[in-house]
Structure 1
Amino acid sequence: MTRMNDTTATATDDDPATLRQALAAARAQIDALQTELDETNRGVLALYAELDTQAQQLRQATELKSRFLAYMSHEFRTPIASVRSLTRLLLDRVDGPLTPEQEKQITFIRHTAEEFADMVNDLLDLAKVEAGRIDVSPAWFELVDLFAALRGMFKPLLVNPDVQLIFEEPQGVPQLFTDDAKLSQILRNFISNALKFTAHGEVRVSATVGPDGHGGEEITFSVSDSGIGIAREFHDAIFQDFTQIGSPVQKRLRGTGLGLSLSKRLAELLGGRVALRSEPGVGSMFSVSVPARLPEPLRSVATMQEPAA
């Protein structure tokens, strides 16, 4: 009797109806999982679509900001040029003599207009960089020629007899193939800041050559000063847009906070990088390192030719 019951149980376990039920249950579970997976996929697709929309909106906002900055910069240039021209005529006494107080006020207006012009130029350049509309035009040039041009440019601006601007003679630096105008702009920003925040001592400009880690040569330009210095906690922020360091000198000497940010971006366009070493009360050293030969992917205008022997 017991053996009959075992046989019946075995038959029941192998019964086709039971197998069909188990198979149907498995299929239902698979269908449920597939439905859940489809819903997850739809959610992911919706998320991607939302991210694409947000990215497009961000691109449009960036484009609008760049266009606004470029438009306003162009619009500001005409009245700024007029103010500078008028102040120059007045200071040249074209319309008659000036009292000491008049000369003082007109000189103040002229300096303010020059600061405004620098800000407008920086804004326009930033707008071009952000919009990807700035060209890199490399050419061969000698470093001594670049230093000579900078020396001549800053000579009329050395109004503080307690500060010397020194350009070290470059030793062993080869001809460079990069955008000399953008490199000059970076160095001008560094030198201008150094002169502005150095009350006495010197501002020294130098260049050294070393390996770039890719089989080529890298030139590092350094602008060191004996000025007020910058606290360590501000070293990273100093290269961000509109960043200014709170100090009595900073409050007295106004600036836009754009020059160093622009210098960083221009250095990156040249395949390089900027750096800062500084200590409050001791001075600062801003540096930019760029390849001696601009990498091929970064060349957008000029065709590279070997320099003359």
Structure 2
Amino acid sequence: MSVDNRGGAVKITKQQKEIAELKQALLKANEDIEKLSKVKSDFVSIISHELRTPLTSIKESVSLVLDGIAGPINVEQKNFLSMAKNNIDRLVGIIANILDFSKLESGRVTMHKRKMDINEIIKDVYVLTRPIAEKNNLGFEMELSDNIEKTWFDPDRISQALKNLISNAIKFNKPNGSIKISSSDGRIDGKKVIKVIVEDAGIGIPKEDAPWLFKTLNPLDTSMTRRHAGIGLGLAVCKRIIGFHGGDIWVESKKDKGSQFIFALPVYDKDTEFNFLLDEAIERAKYNDMKLALIIFAIRNRKDATEEAISELEKNIHSVVRGPEDKVTRFKDGEFIVIMAGTDSSGAEKIIGRMKGKVRVSLNFGVAVYPDDAKDKEGLIKKAEKELKSKNNTL
């Protein structure tokens, strides 16, 4: 490179070299951070499992003595053992929250989402937690909206979030207080959502403290948190779980007036639902280093695309697609897309073969496989739609 009398080119070259060195240093720092994060997550996981094993043994031993299997005990002994068992249960819950939070924070949790009615989960959690509320002399009621829309969520994780919220409602309630859990349809920023509220008649939360509740490092150190052994990681876990679902969680509360913990899950329209499902499937395929097949089935002649024919096609597709991670979604009028996890081109051909003779109308089909045909959503759709137009791809 030529150099002017002022050394301009040399100066530019030097700056470029410094920028390149800074980029390399930044990449190295990011790699080190990722390694440290993995070491931390692995450490938390190992310690959590190591603690669980002896605690399980201790809990079983205490339960045997409490039940009188090891011999008769007096009232005072029973009270002390009951106190020990309750604190063992609490410690097991804390360890579970630490382990869950570590997994959620590191992104090592796989969500198994299904399209469900949130009321089914609320009812199950209500049945499980009502005896605990009643044992604490708390009223517990449930008010569910009828005909609530189904949406996509991981039932186990949403159940976990609900249990955490109800546990807090029990812990921070007033003597002879009450808890109410409810569901409703709603809109946030014009978008449809499902809202779930866990309401208590407890001690409430000062307005200035509310923003800290869902944070990992909670600086709150009031008489409330000291008296109740702190709020812990339960709410931080809830925040991460709801966030993984594309939702939001917040609290509405007044000191000494009780609190409402509210979370909202998105309800997807057809286009958004398809994009969400495909994005999630591709991420899972990347994470697990697996293939993914995208199959489009379309009724060939538009005049045949009656509601009856479309319903029959959907039913038949569901009958041949049986994998728990596989998804069937309506794409356009007379078109359905099948997203098949862990499936290559030969697996897709088998599904197409099963469709032969099942429908009374002519079908076109198109197939695209990740990562063979494309490595992103747009590429897969483009490839499958191109295949759909092929004269050879008909049933």
User: With structure 1 as the length reference, what TM-score do the two structures score?
Assistant: 0.83
Instruction: Describe the SS at the equivalent of 1:232.
Output: coil
Q: State whether structure 2 residue 228 is matched by structure 1 residue 205.
A: no
Q: What does residue 326 of structure 2 align with?
A: 303
Which protein is richer in helix relative to its size?
1
Higher RCO structure (Cα 8 Å, ≥6 apart): 1
Shift of 1:212: 5.8
**Cα distance in 2 between the residues matched to 1:198 and 1:177:** 32
**Cα distance in 2 between the residues matched to 1:142 and 1:27:** 73
Which residue of 154, 160, 167 maps to 2:136? 160
Q: State whether structure 2 residue 252 is matched by structure 1 residue 277.
A: yes
Alpha carbon RMSD of aligned pairs, Å? 2.4
Q: State whether structure 2 residue 203 is matched by structure 1 residue 228.
A: yes
Q: Matches of residues 1-309 of structure 1 in structure 2 within 5 Å? A: 27-29=4-6, 32-158=7-133, 159-161=135-137, 163-199=138-174, 200-211=176-187, 217-243=192-218, 245-255=220-230, 257-292=232-267, 295-296=276-277, 297-298=279-280, 300=284, 302-305=325-328
Question: Retained in 2: the 8 A contact 1:242–1:257?
Answer: no
Shift of 1:204: 1.2
**Cα distance in 2 between the residues matched to 1:27 and 1:242:** 56
Rate the CA distance shift 1:96–1:230 in 2: closer, same or farther, 3 A. same
Question: Retained in 1: the 8 A contact 2:242–2:249?
Answer: yes
Identical counterparts, % of pairs: 24
Which protein is richer in strand relative to its size?
2
**Cα distance in 1 between the residues matched to 2:261 and 2:160:** 14
Aligned residues: 279
Question: Retained in 2: the 8 A contact 1:143–1:170?
Answer: no
Q: What does residue 339 of structure 2 align with?
A: none
Shift of 1:96: 1.6
Rate the CA distance shift 1:27–1:248 in 2: closer, same or farther, 3 A. closer
5+ long unaligned stretches in structure 1: 1-25
Instruction: Describe the SS at the equivalent of 1:222.
Output: strand
CA-to-partner distance for each residue in 1:174-194, whole Å, 9 max, x for gaps? Answer: 233321111111111111101
**Cα distance in 2 between the residues matched to 1:83 and 1:263:** 29
Shift of 1:110: 0.7
1:160 is matched by which residue type in structure 2?
N
**Cα distance in 1 between the residues matched to 2:241 and 2:264:** 11
Instruction: Describe the SS at the equivalent of 2:16.
Output: helix
Instruction: Describe the SS at the equivalent of 2:251.
Output: strand
User: With structure 2 as the length reference, what TM-score do the two structures score?
Assistant: 0.66
